[in-house]
Amino acid sequence: MSAPPFLTISRRTRKTPFSKRVHQSGVSAYTVYNHTLLPTIFESIEADYRHLKKHVQIWDVTCERQVEVSGPDSNQLIQMLTPRNLDGFKPGKCFYAPITDKNGGMLNDPIFLKIDKNKYWLSISDSDVLLWVKGLAYGMGLNVLIDEPEVAPLAIQGPKSAKLAARIFGEQVHQIEFFNYSMLAFHGCKLLVSRSGWSKQDGFEIFVTGTDIAEPLWDALFKSGEDLNVRAGCPNLIERIEAGLLSYGNDMTRENNPYECGLGRFCEPESAVHCIGRNALLKVAAHGPKKQIRNFSITGNALEPCVHPWPLFANGKIIGEITSAAWSPCFNTNVALGMIAIELSKDGNQVEVETPNGFRDAIVKKSSFI
Ligand code: THG
């Protein structure tokens, strides 16, 4: 096969305050996420994966853009966006929650951060939430400000991440619990530091405001982390599939409701009475979804990446699709994510998948690999 095509980068493809450092660190592939460059490979997906599971990495995740909603009507607007009940949402907390449309279809799966009584950040996945929220606010005549501030999240991920974060921000980082944040100082700036990130290897995300401290922060992390074997990294395909972390646009789209995506635990349409899509979601909740995301292992040797969904078959009929797959050196199998008809979704059930490498057996896993 000929080499894959290049991506032409222009002004529309946003660079980040860390782009120079990422380039100097030897990035070898990018994707575009929220119109912004997101590294996907440094050394190789497998070498990056082995390093992430053992050491500590710094990720430029500026592409996780913040949609800021502030003003007197912000609470009303925020609770319209999601079927997750946001009562008890206090500054210092992060909530993972779906954003749904009138049909209950997934528009995004951001992390909501409450910054202040009347101020929120939605740390979004790859879709234009800014336009949806601006449209809603205008259409409803709400007294809110909606903006995309210059905030560039930088993730510290890996088993040694707390050790490294403590050297920059102090020992109090150990007290930050999963999906909580603290405001911590660096070079005289108070930065939001949350215990979160798109891996299950432990870690933090630093929401860098003010582009002038981006490179100093990057450099400080690399200098302090030398003995911890710190490297530049990025969300890793193998690790995130093992962890069952869903990728919006890949594993789920507007065609899917949150119950199908296994995000039912973040939906409370009964009590979130003003959420968009409530009636549709109540119906799904009452009957249960017809299909659902599962982890799979796929037999045989390493498969090509899943660029387009691969159909799943049972008794010659299509009963679902695989949407992400990668060879896992730790589990010695292809690990995958996909949607399957609910009646065939039980742990251990075996179906067939048509991959570019031919038909293989796919075995349903009741939970993620890690
Ligand atoms: N960090 C920040 N913003 C983001 C992401 C992130 N925006 C885009 C994307 N990632 C949003 N999607 C997810 C998906 C899963 C998780 C976080 C963001 C996640 N899930 C945990 C899980 O499924 O085990 C925990 C969820 C919970 O229990 O609340 O971490 O990574 N800033």
Q: Which atom of ligand 1 is nearest to the CA of 179?
A: 29
Residue 1 pLDDT grade (very low, low, confident, very high; cuts 50, 70, 90): low
**Nearest alpha carbon, ligand 1 atom 28:** 96
Which residue is closest in CA terms to ligand 1's atom 27? 96
pLDDT confidence tier of residue 100, bands split at 50, 70 and 90 = very high
Residue 120 above 90 pLDDT?
A: yes
Entry pTM: 0.97
- Per DSSP (E only), the strands in 125-259 are 145-147, 151-157, 181-186, 189-194, 203-209, 231-233
Structure tokens at 166: 């403590």
Full set of structural domains in the chain with CATH: 19-62+151-240 (3.30.1360.120), 66-150+257-289 (3.30.70.1400), 290-370 (2.40.30.110)
Average pLDDT, the chain: 97
Q: Looking at residue 2, what is its pLDDT?
A: 73
Q: Is 7 exposed, middle or buried (0-12, 13-18, 19+ CB in 10 A)?
A: exposed
pLDDT of residue 6: 83
Distance CA 170, CA 161 (A): 13
Whether the Cβ atoms of residue 52 and residue 199 lie closer than 8 Å to each other: yes
In this prediction, what percent of the chain has a pLDDT beyond 70?
100
pLDDT-based confidence at 211, cuts 50/70/90?
A: confident
68 within 8 A of 120, measured Cβ to Cβ: yes
pLDDT in tens, 259-292: 999 999 999 999 999 999 999 999 999 999 999 9
Ligand 1 binding residues, C-beta < 6 A: 64, 96, 109-111, 123-125, 153, 179, 196-198, 205, 245-246
**13-61 tens-digit pLDDT:** 999 999 999 999 999 999 999 999 999 999 999 999 999 999 999 999 9
- Closest atom of ligand 1 to 123 CA is 3
Residue 96 alpha carbon to ligand 1 centre in Å: 6
Residue nearest to atom 3 of ligand 1 (CA): 123
CA of 199 to the centre of ligand 1 (A): 9
Instruction: Name the burial class of residue 224, with classes exposed (0-12), middle (13-18) and buried (19+) by CB atoms within 10 angstroms of its CB.
Output: middle
Pocket test for ligand 1, best of 33, 198, 209, 337 (most atoms within 8 A of CB): 198
Distance 111 CA to ligand 1 centre (A): 6
**186 — pLDDT class (breaks 50, 70, 90):** very high
The answer to whether 144 touches 74, Cβ cutoff 8 Å, is yes
The DSSP bridge partners found for residue 352 are 313, 361
Q: Is 75 helix (H, G, I), strand (E, B) or coil?
A: helix
Rounded Cα distance between 341 and 213, Å, is 49
Q: 282-305 burial string, b = 16+ CB within 10 Å, else e?
A: eebbeeebebbbbbbbbeeeebee
